[in-house]
A and B are shown apart, each in its own frame.
Chain A
Amino acid sequence: LAKTTQPISMDSYEGQEVNITCSHNNIATNDYITWYQQFPSQGPRFIIQGYKTKVTNEVASLFIPADRKSSTLSLPRVSLSDTAVYYCLVGDRNTGFQKLVFGTGTRLLVSP
């Protein structure tokens, strides 16, 4: 089971770039890295997924070093509405979704 470790919480201000790092030292060869965002009273929402190097979409970027033992979710120019809990998951559906554990996540607070 690829255990993930994230900071419990982070603080930022509007307009800043936020980088949240996730450690996953025993990631398996076929595992993908997926990040979700959860607002209060809502279900988690998919943000981004990657396997190696860098992935970018309209919301965020995901940086994965060559050894894949960690990954960094980058949120450019955060706003108050980015205040949420961010989860890093590591796994591969072919080996069972029970591996895709949400963990405690990182609580991001964006202030004015």
Chain B
Amino acid sequence: DAGVIQSPRHEVTEMGQEVTLRCKPISGHDYLFWYRQTMMRGLELLIYFNNNVPIDDSGMPEDRFSAKMPNASFSTLKIQPSEPRDSAVYFCASSTPGTDTQYFGPGTRLTVL
């Protein structure tokens, strides 16, 4: 199994631009998570889906952030417009049915100038 796949691995953009992060979960997993990690705030859960349906988005910082999961094998996290304070590493993870164990992708390092 290839594990959770994220793209791009690195993204540098300018303030005000739209950023789209992509994630392919492990096949057969029923939960998908988006996290953000910074030195100041640690690892924060932004939103998670169960069977492609958003369950809890209370961690999404503001309306500039949105996430979709159009099918079981693909999810996006979009930031529009981006701001320098959005600079962080964004992780996607997926979970095996019936367990709490989360499998993380390699992350996308986002830098907003």
Contacts and interface: CB of A to CB of B under 8 A. Distances in A.
- B is a partner of A: yes
Interface of A: 32, 34, 36, 41-46, 49, 87, 89, 91-93, 96-98, 100-105
A98 B100 contact: no
Interface stretch (B62-70, B76-84, B91-99): B91-99
Interface of B: 4, 31, 33, 42-43, 45, 48, 55-56, 58-59, 91, 93, 95, 99-107
Contact of A98 (B45, B104, B106): B45
Contact of A43 (B31, B48, B55, B104): B104
B41 to A, nearest CB: 10
Main secondary structure of the interface of B (DSSP, over half): strand
Nearest to A98: B56
A104 B99 contact: no
Contact of B43 (A32, A45, A91, A102): A102
Given A34-B101, A93-B99, A43 B42 contact: no
Contacts of B95: 93
Nearest to B105: A43
B90 to A, nearest CB: 10
A67 to B, nearest CB: 21
Contacts of A41: 107
6 contacts: A93-B95, A97-B45, A97-B55, A98-B58, A101-B45, A105-B42
B93 A49 contact: no
B56 A96 contact: yes
B58 A42 contact: no
A3 B104 CA distance: 22
Contacts of A91: 100
B101 A46 contact: yes
A91 B31 CA distance: 16
A43 B100 contact: no
